[in-house]
Structure formats: structure tokens, C-alpha cells
Amino acid sequence: MRRTTAAYVAPFVVFVLLMSGLPRLGIGPELSYPIRTLAALGAWWMLSRGLFAWRPRQALGSIALGGAVFAVWIGPDLLWPGYRSHWLFENVLTGAARSTVEASWRNDPVFLGFRVFGSVLVVPVIEELFWRGWLMRWLTGSEFEKVPLGAYVPRAFWVTAILFGLEHGPYWDVGLAAGVAYNWWVVRTRSLADCVLAHGVTNGCLAAWVLASGAWSYWL
């Protein structure tokens, strides 16, 4: 059981620990993001391959959901300029919606390639394994493998959604909406591949938006 838990949890934990630990070693975001992306990918390769089938059951629906979550993500800032500067979103607990990507790295193709690769292909996998593959089931029963993927238990559903939202700092409100959407989708499809696809589409659209519009604050 411990080994199985590690397979779902370790890639995400590696990514998060390096996200907080590398800056303390004086490593800037231009290097820390590639390092933690490759480390999380390595943890997935060693521990987590084969945990779910990669073929989504409802690919078109997953793509549509991912696009809808993207629209929800950027919608408030487009409709109400200055929305994100309200104290509910910028405070000592959530931080501020300011990018860590220095201006000098915003045209670097290698860094941007790593950032897009991590956002679109790595983060959706490791986050879906952790949040909906493991936590949502573990909150239902400690022997989580006995809990069917997508089983609906209100407490597990909402705690997972709330924690997923809080993970996104000053974007906790739209993060919560995304958590609810992805949780609902795993309940509906019973497929982690569909959640990974939806999540990847959201992140891909967001990456395209950042690069096209210069809205770097979405890349914290």
C-alpha cells in the first residue's frame, strides 16, 4: 500500500518541495522550473507509470471542459480590471498575483519551452494523480485503492476542491472553480485520463494566453 501511495503522491510532492526549496538555495525561476519539472517527471517515470490508461473515454467533452475552465480562469480579470488586487486575493496568506518570470527570460525559447512543457504535459499528470487519483479517494477510505475512481462522497469532493483552490494562491477563487469542475468530471467519467486531458487543455490555453497577451501574472 505504501508503495502505491507513493506512486500517486511522490511526483507532486517532489514538484512542490522543489518549488519552495530551490529559491532558498538561491536558484531563480529560470532554472528552478526546469529542475522541478524534470525531477517530477523522473519521479513519475520511476514510480507512477501504468497507473491509468491514457486513452480518455470522453475526449471531446474533456477538451470542452478544459476550455471552459480556462475561460473561468481569466474571466474575472477581463471583466473587472483590478479584480485580483482586492485584499481577498492579495494578502499575507495567498501572496500576490505577480509573476516570478523575470523580463529577461520572457523571450528565452529554452525557458519558455520548459515552462509550456511543464504546464501542459507534466503538471496535469502529477496533479491529477495526487488530487483526484489519490486524495479524493483517500478522504473516502484510508485503503484508497478499494475506493472506485470517481466515487462521489460529498466531504471528499469538497475538501479536495477547496485544497486544490488554495494551492493556487491569489487565484484561489478560480482554482476552487477548477477543482469543482475537475472533481465533477472524474465523478462523471470515472477516468483519470479525461481529467488529465481537461487539465492539460486548460493549462495549454492559459500558456497560449500568457505568451500572446503578456499576462505573465498567471505564471506565478
Q: Give whole-number Cα distances, 64 to 70, 78, 122, 202, in Å.
A: 10, 20, 20, 9
pLDDT score recorded for residue 2:
58
> Which pLDDT score is estimated for 3?
65
Is there a domain that residue 4 lies in? no
Least confident of 20-29, 147-156, 179-188: 20-29
Percentage of residues of the chain with pLDDT beyond 90: 82
Query: Is 72 among the domain residues?
Result: yes
Identify whether 38 is part of a domain. no
User: Residue 108: which domain range?
Assistant: 53-218
Residue type, 82: G
User: What are the phi and psi torsion angles at 214 (to 5°)?
Assistant: 75, 20
Are the CB atoms for 132 and 195 separated by under 8 Å? yes
Asked if residue 120 belongs to a domain, the reply is yes
* Structural domains counted in the chain: 1
Q: How many beta carbons lie within 10 A of that of residue 104, not counting itself?
A: 9
Report pTM: 0.95
Q: Is the pLDDT score of 1 beyond 80?
A: no
Task: Give the residue ranges of DSSP H helices in the chain.
Answer: 2-24, 29-47, 59-79, 109-117, 123-128, 136-138, 154-166, 172-189, 192-213
Please indicate, yes or no, if residue 103 is contained in any of the structural domains: yes
Rounded to whole angstroms, the Cα distance separating 178 from 57 reads: 20
For position 161, what pLDDT does the model report?
98
